A = this chain, B = another copy of it.
Amino acid sequence: MLRIGVCGLGTVGQSFLRHITEHQSKIRSNVSVDFEISMIADRSIKSKKYPKNIAVTNNILDMASSSDVDIIVELVGGIDASYELLKNAINNGKHIITANKALIAEHGDELFSLAKKNNIYLGFEASVAGAIPIIKTLSNSMANEEILSLAGIINGTCNYILDQMSSYNLDFNDALDEAKKLGYAEADPTFDINGMDAAHKISILTSLVYKVASPLKHIYIEGIENITPMDMIYAKELGYCIKHLGITKKDGDFIESRVHPVLVPIDNVFSKINGVKNSILINGDKFGTSMLYGNGAGGDATASAVISDLVDAINYVSNENKTSNYSIGSIGTSSLQIKNNSDISSPFYLRIHAEDISGVMAEITNILASEEISIEAVTQHEPNDANSLIPIVMITNAVKGSLIDDAIKQIELLEHVKDKVYKIRVFKIDEK
């Protein structure tokens, strides 16, 4: 009988307990030894509902040393306490399942290496993109060839906000309020909208796919706070929609690893990923382009990923499947460097606000020409009234980030250009 300890009885924890009860016959058919929930830890356990006859504690650290627990399901979130819990638990021979992306992004290298040393199962499917089985698919079906690139809509809050801005011509703050009302954004949505949540996820995926150490420190991170309804309209005119993507990609001896808004061609499948859904596109040397799509958050979806790890953990402990920690063994061992964002080439979308005076466009195009940046598309509307600024929007050829930044600096110095120039990378998906 394997004994499972659950840390954290929030939304996911409650869904986990329901799932394990409702679908226990399915779950039991996928393992060869019996299991039970033996302990629950939650800071405010007294206010929570949980099954009777189970040991409880309000100190999650108790579980790391409890003799009543073989497998710990960590659903607490946060970093410090979870880190201590997991490190102690692994050292005490307990197997781990976690949904904690911040923890894995910050301390994954150390925890994976500790788990490998102690022959411990460490499952983290639920830490990236909820119910999408991206960790298992990359670790199994896609692990036998080179992954050329991976790009994903991995923050449902951002995707919902961008979708609302585009569909209903809302500005950022109104769309954010709407997302909060519907529970798609948290009361403090900072880490979602500034890109940090997506950065945690792309860091974990970069670890898994390219084995580099601590990618999070080197990831370029940009959120969606500066996108305006105007950008949505201009992007559409030019045949694009705006999405917030996480990208990791091999480029020679370097890895590109970044999260930021991008323009995606309107006929690409990414453009149809609406609302809070997540979607990850993976390019393999042999399998070509594949995509996984599904619920990136929510109690049931996340718990479903936790349960799939639980089955792996039980089969690991019972010696039915020892392969499930193969992929974590080599994390952090690669010497590949993460490329500086200023060295990464792509086409750029530029939004420039200028006074409606003849000659401004010529000054701008001269600057771009002097930097050998060519303009692939441009769109400019009539000003609303005689005194208002005109937005000039253009798409360049593929150039390095540093080059576009040089050009932007010069453009911003022009007498008739007002406000900051806003740039968004254009994403090219080479489907195989």
Please tell me if the beta carbons of A288 and B144 are within 8 angstroms of each other in the complex. Answer: no
Please tell me if the beta carbons of B294 and A288 are within 8 angstroms of each other in the complex. Answer: yes
> Which residues of chain A in 270-320 are interfacial with respect to chain B, using CB atoms and an 8 Å cutoff?
271-274, 284-295, 298, 300-301, 303-305, 307-308, 311-312, 315, 320
Least CB distance, A208 to chain B, in whole angstroms: 13
Count the copies: 2
A119 CB-CB contact with B under 8 Å: no
Residue numbers of A with Cβ under 8 A of B are: 15, 19, 22-23, 26-27, 29-30, 125, 130-133, 136-137, 140-146, 267-269, 271-274, 284-295, 298, 300-301, 303-305, 307-308, 311-312, 315, 320-323, 326, 330, 432
- Which chain B residue has the least Cβ–Cβ distance from A300? B286
Please tell me if the beta carbons of A145 and B284 are within 8 angstroms of each other in the complex. Answer: no
Max count, chain B CB within 10 A of own CB: residue among A291, A301, A308, A323 = A323
Please tell me if the beta carbons of A307 and B145 are within 8 angstroms of each other in the complex. Answer: yes
Residues of chain B contacted by A137 (CB below 8 angstroms): 133, 136-137
Please tell me if the beta carbons of B272 and A287 are within 8 angstroms of each other in the complex. Answer: no
- Which chain B residue has the least Cβ–Cβ distance from A322? B320
Please tell me if the beta carbons of B293 and A269 are within 8 angstroms of each other in the complex. Answer: yes
Please tell me if the beta carbons of B323 and A290 are within 8 angstroms of each other in the complex. Answer: no
Residues of chain B contacted by A330 (CB below 8 angstroms): 29
With the chains together, A312 CA to B143 CA distance in Å? 12
Partner of A145, one of B19, B141, B269, B288: B19
Q: A23-B285, A289-B295, A290-B293 are in contact. List 14 more A-B contacts (CB 8 A).
A: A23-B144, A26-B143, A26-B144, A26-B146, A30-B326, A131-B290, A133-B140, A137-B137, A269-B272, A271-B272, A287-B305, A288-B301, A290-B292, A290-B295
- With A132-B290, A293-B269 known as contacts, the answer to whether A143 contacts B300 (CB < 8 A) is no
Residues of chain B contacted by A30 (CB below 8 angstroms): 143-144, 323, 326
Max count, chain B CB within 10 A of own CB: residue among A143, A286, A311 = A286
- Which chain B residue has the least Cβ–Cβ distance from A269? B272
Residues of chain B contacted by A26 (CB below 8 angstroms): 143-146
Please tell me if the beta carbons of B304 and A144 are within 8 angstroms of each other in the complex. Answer: yes
- With A288-B294, A290-B132, A304-B284 known as contacts, the answer to whether A145 contacts B23 (CB < 8 A) is yes
Residues of chain B contacted by A289 (CB below 8 angstroms): 294-295
- With A136-B140, A320-B322 known as contacts, the answer to whether A288 contacts B293 (CB < 8 A) is no
- Which chain B residue has the least Cβ–Cβ distance from A309? B141
Least CB distance, A315 to chain B, in whole angstroms: 5
- Which chain B residue has the least Cβ–Cβ distance from A16? B286
Residues of chain B contacted by A285 (CB below 8 angstroms): 22-23
Max count, chain B CB within 10 A of own CB: residue among A137, A142, A330 = A137
- Which chain B residue has the least Cβ–Cβ distance from A298? B288
Between-chain CB contacts (< 8 Å), 18 pairs: A22-B145, A23-B144, A30-B326, A136-B137, A136-B140, A140-B308, A142-B308, A144-B304, A145-B307, A269-B272, A284-B304, A286-B300, A286-B307, A287-B304, A287-B305, A290-B293, A291-B293, A292-B293
Please tell me if the beta carbons of A287 and B267 are within 8 angstroms of each other in the complex. Answer: no
Partner of A144, one of B145, B300, B307, B322: B307
With the chains together, A285 CA to B132 CA distance in Å? 14
Residues of chain B contacted by A293 (CB below 8 angstroms): 269, 290-293
